[in-house]
Structures are given as structure tokens and as C-alpha cells.
Amino acid sequence: MSNTQTLVAASPPLTQTALLLHAPRTRYALTDAHPVPALRRRDEVLVRVTHVGLNPIDWKSADFGFGLPALPAVNGRDLAGVVVALHPDAPDAPLPSASASASASASASRSTEDGARTFRVGDRVFGPSTQYRDARTSAFQSYAVTQAHCLARVPAGLAPAAACAVGVGAVTAMLALGSSLGVPLGEGGFSTRGVAVGAEGEEPAWGRREQPGSVFDKIGSVFSNIFSTPRPSKPKAGEWLLIWGASAVTGFFAAQFALLAGMRVIAVVDAQRHGERLRSIGIQHIIDRAVPADAIAEVRALTRGKLRYAIDCVGQATAQHAIDALDTAPATQTHIVGLTGLPREAPANVELCVVPIKTFHTNPRVGAGLTRILEDLLARGKLVLPPVEVLDGGLGAINDALDRLRRGEVGGGRLVVRLEAESGAGAETTADIPVVRLEADTAAQTAENSSA
């Protein structure tokens, strides 16, 4: 399908500015001659990218050479922008023979949908790309293609730069809780397990007994599909959840979704730097991370040794600390989700879980369910967003920004690169974005931190 056949507000150009990775361990290179990605399926929309949120994967993938199915690669996982074109076979699309100008005016009232998701040209949207194998969906380009169920609307009054910091962190957090641990999500108690392929109790494949170690660390959730979950669990309200590294954007969202589900959250973080922010979202138990043995002892005392659920946001070493805080009674099944890595072995009663991140795009019912929850909570102001630091300079600013992530200089928020400013309702103003200069205490960074 060529771009000229799409339903557009104003014809997108054939080529665009993009950031290409030509080889691992090289700098991203800017080009202004990259093809604008084509819409191939009726459930896809073309988004003009206005903001890019930077994630650890953006530099790790380049430095360690994973998640690069083809070179040159287009990376970038979090974007916000404006819907500029729909597929001609989308519901209500005009005949492909319509002229560009006729299409332009008609498109304002047209929509496309996938399952429950419907978008119109001109909608301001955000979302994570979980499809690194499909570079059309990546964020480091001026135009990206996204499946409708993977997009959420930016609610009125929310700056796109702030929305841009939500996608990867919130979706990962929801899948860690909902799919890996069985926690009901959002105020309606949405169950990702309930709508997943191989629904609850039918080998959802999100946990396993053994880890393939560093290989898993590199290819992440790809491996999750070949293992089976021994015993799906369902935490009850009032159940403890330990989040090691809850200052991470993902941990920050996980804490909020767990609290919404009625769980009691314990956060292990740099208490001095992040304690106040985490207390402000309702976490009652903040434990300092400085001496892991002390933190483990404190968690065990607080939970009387009965902790059954944990999420680690940092790496293998801290995941081990979290496991050491779990209930050791052989008859008690416990569960840990490792976002970045897990130890090779664990006691027999510990289920080692990964995040089935792919289900966000492979299963429209999962994607649509999660994006709808996000829209709902954001529109009602029920989700506290992480701080963002907005950087100008377009795609060309990304290399230097990623260097700051590499050096561990950014903690507790997202760097967001602005490709173009927005105007109109919801456009950013200095008042409505929690803009900060994000700086971590690099002297306090541990070796495990930089290797995670």
C-alpha cells in the first residue's frame, strides 16, 4: 500500500527525518531522506511524531546490540503526536479515488477502529511501541505507524510532553501486575489474563522455574512464550507488594496500579531523593536501598516474613535481594517479576516471572484494555505522572540525551525530546508540564545499576 492511498488530513511527505542506527556501538545518525512508513493494515494509523520519550532500552539496544532485527535500525519506544492518516480500508474511509484535497476534508470526520479503539485524523495521541521488529512503529522518526489498539488519546489539558512519558512505563507496569502477577487493573478491575490468548489457567506462559541468565537479559520477553506458568496467582486486596527500585518510572506506575487494586506497597529506593515523591502517591512504606541486607531485614520485619509478591526494576542483583525478602515457607507460592533480569536459580517456592510485553500489540483486547484504562485514569486525574525534562533540538538532540541516561544521570523521570511544538487545547505550557532538570546522584550509583 503506497502512502498516496491513505486517508489523510494533508498528504504526508514521501520522505522524512529519522534517526538511524547503522551498527551496534555507534552513534545514531540523522537523515532527512528516510521513507515515511506505509499503512499496511486497516487497523493502522499514521502519527506525526511531536515528542519522543527516552527509555533505557534506547541506549542499551544500541550499546549491547539487541532488539536490532535489521540495520540500519530505527529505535525509540515512546511517542506522542497527532494522527495524520488512516488506512483507506478503515471503517468509513472514502473511496481511494477521492482527490487528496477531498480526502483531507472528509478525513476530519472519518475514523478507524480495531476492536474498541477508534481514532480520527487530528487526534492527539500517545503510546509505546512494543514492536521493535517493525521499524514503522518506532519513535525516532517524524512519522510512525501504530496499530489503533496501541494508542491512547491525550486527554484535554494534558501536555503531550507529559503524556509521552507514560507509555512504556505504564504499559510495562500494568502487564507486570496484570499478566505476570494476576492483579486486577484500573478502577474496573480489568484482567489482562482474562482476555489473553490462552486465557487464565490455560498456560499463559508468563512465569517459569528457571532462567537462561544473561541471554534472557538481552532478549527479554521473547523467551517468555516458551515457558509455562505453573500456578496463576491472584493477589488479594491488602496483600503486600515489594517494588525494588520503585523510583524507576515503571516502578512508579506499578506502585500506583497496585495501590488502586488495594495492595500495600513497599518501595525500596534512595529514600532521601525519592521518598517524598513516592509518599505523595500513597506509598506508606519507603525503605532506603543503601544497605540491601538492612532493606531485606526491614521488609521481612514489616511483612512478618509473609511477603508473596515482588517486582524488581533494576537488575539481577536487586532481584535476588527481593527474592531474599519473600516468604521462605516451602508451601507458600511466591512470585517475583524481573523487568531487567532474574537470578538463574531461586528457591522452589519462588515463581520467576517476566513481562509479556508483546501481548500489548499482539492481542488487541489486551492493548485496547490497557490504553482505555490509561485514558480513563488520565482524564480523571487519577494517575500521577513522572517528572519530565523537555529537550529541544528535535531528533538531533537524542544522542546527547541518551549519553545522560548511559551515565546514570537521569533518575526518577523521563527525558522527552520535542520534535515540534503543539498549539491549541492541551498544548504544552510551562504551567502544565512537571518540567524539571533530572539529575541523579551519580556518585551513589552502584555497579549493578550501570550493568542493569
Ligand X SMILES: NC(=O)c1ccc[n+]([C@@H]2O[C@H](COP(=O)([O-])OP(=O)(O)OC[C@H]3O[C@@H](n4cnc5c(N)ncnc54)[C@H](OP(=O)(O)O)[C@@H]3O)[C@@H](O)[C@H]2O)c1
411 near ligand X, rule: CB under 6 A: yes
* 186 binding ligand X? (CB under 6 A): no
The residue with its CB nearest to ligand X is 411
- Determine, following the binding rule CB under 6 A, whether residue 316 of this chain makes contact with ligand X: no
User: Which one, 85 or 307, has the nearer CB to ligand X?
Assistant: 307
User: How many other C-beta atoms can be found within 10 angstroms of the C-beta atom of residue 426?
Assistant: 18
Applying CB under 6 A, which part among 53-61, 106-114, 360-368, 395-403 lies near ligand X? 53-61
Q: Which residue among 169, 184, 186, 232 contacts ligand X (CB under 6 A)?
A: 169
412 binds ligand X (CB under 6 A): yes
- Minimum Å gap between C-beta 392 and ligand X is 21
Looking at 8, 145, 313, 366, which residue binds ligand X (CB under 6 A)?
313
Q: Return the CA Rg of the chain.
A: 21
Of the candidates 402, 422, 399, the one whose C-alpha atom is nearest the C-alpha of residue 27 is 399
Q: Work out whether 172 is an interface residue with ligand X (CB under 6 A).
A: yes
For ligand X, give the closer residue by CB, 60 or 87: 60
| Cβ distance to ligand X smaller for residue 47 or 57 | 57
256 is an interface residue for ligand X by CB under 6 A:
no
Residue 146 binds ligand X (CB under 6 A): no
Of 144, 154, 165, 168, the residue at the interface with ligand X (CB under 6 A) is: 168
Establish if 318 lies at the interface with ligand X (CB under 6 A): yes
Of 108-116, 144-152, 246-254, 344-352, which segment contacts ligand X by CB under 6 A?
Answer: 246-254
List the end-to-end C-alpha distance of the chain, in Å, as a whole number.
41
Residue 8 as a binder of ligand X (CB under 6 A): the answer is: no
Query: Does residue 314 belong to the site contacting ligand X (CB under 6 A)?
Result: yes
| From candidates 357, 390, 391, 419, binder to ligand X by CB under 6 A | 357
Of the residues 16, 147, 191, 221, which one makes contact with ligand X according to CB under 6 A: 221
**Which residues, 6+ apart, have CB-to-CB distance to 304 below 8 Å?**
none
**Residue linked to cell 498544548:** 427
Q: Which of 55, 103, 359, 371 is close enough to bind ligand X by CB under 6 A?
A: 55
Q: DSSP states of 168-222 as a string? A: HHHHHHHHIIIIII---BTTTTB-HHHHSSS-TTS----EES---THHHHHHGGG
Cell numbers that stand for 414 in this block:
523521563
Residue 49 burial class via C-beta count within 10 angstroms: exposed 0-12, middle 13-18, buried 19 and up: buried
Residue 33, H or E segment: strand 29-35
Site for ligand X in 266-285 (CB under 6 A): 268-270, 273
Q: Does 247 bind ligand X (CB under 6 A)?
A: yes
DSSP assignment of 242-274 equals EEETTTSHHHHHHHHHHHHTT-EEEEEE-HHHH
Task: Among 154, 170, 248, 385, indicate the residue that binds ligand X (CB under 6 A).
Answer: 248
Which is nearer to ligand X, 121 or 271 (by Cβ)?
271
Q: Which residues of 229-243 are buried (b: 16+ CB within 10 A; e: fewer)?
A: beebbebeeebbbbb
Output the CA–CA distances (angstroms, integers) from residue 233 to 177, 236, 251, 308, in the order listed: 11, 10, 20, 10
Q: CB neighbours (10 Å) of residue 21?
A: 21
- By CB under 6 A, is residue 440 in contact with ligand X? yes
Contact 14, 36 (CB under 8 A): yes
C-alpha–C-alpha distance, residues 191 and 182, integer Å: 7
56 touching ligand X, by CB under 6 A: yes
Among positions 105-144, residues that touch ligand X (CB under 6 A) are none
Report the distance separating Cα 132 and Cα 361, nearest Å.
11
Strands of 370-412, DSSP E? 388-391
Would you count residue 452 as binding ligand X (CB under 6 A)? yes
Q: Which of 134/448 has CB closer to ligand X? A: 448
Q: Give residues 63-92 in contact with ligand X (rule: CB under 6 A).
A: none
Rounded Cα gap, residues 201 and 362, in angstroms:
19
Q: Which CB, 22 or 64, lies closer to ligand X?
A: 64
User: How far, CA to CA in Å, does 57 sit from each of 92, 217, 290, 319, 340?
Assistant: 38, 12, 25, 19, 10
Q: Is residue 192 part of the contact set for ligand X (CB under 6 A)?
A: no
Q: Is 359 in the site for ligand X (CB under 6 A)?
A: no
Task: Choose between 54 and 82: whose C-beta lies nearer to ligand X.
Answer: 54
The amino acid at residue 391 is L
Choose between 172 and 191: whose C-beta lies nearer to ligand X: 172
Q: Is 178 in the site for ligand X (CB under 6 A)?
A: no
Binding residues vs ligand X (CB under 6 A) = 55-57, 168-169, 172, 220-221, 244-245, 247-250, 268-270, 273, 289, 313-314, 318, 339-340, 355, 357, 411-412, 440, 446, 448-449, 452
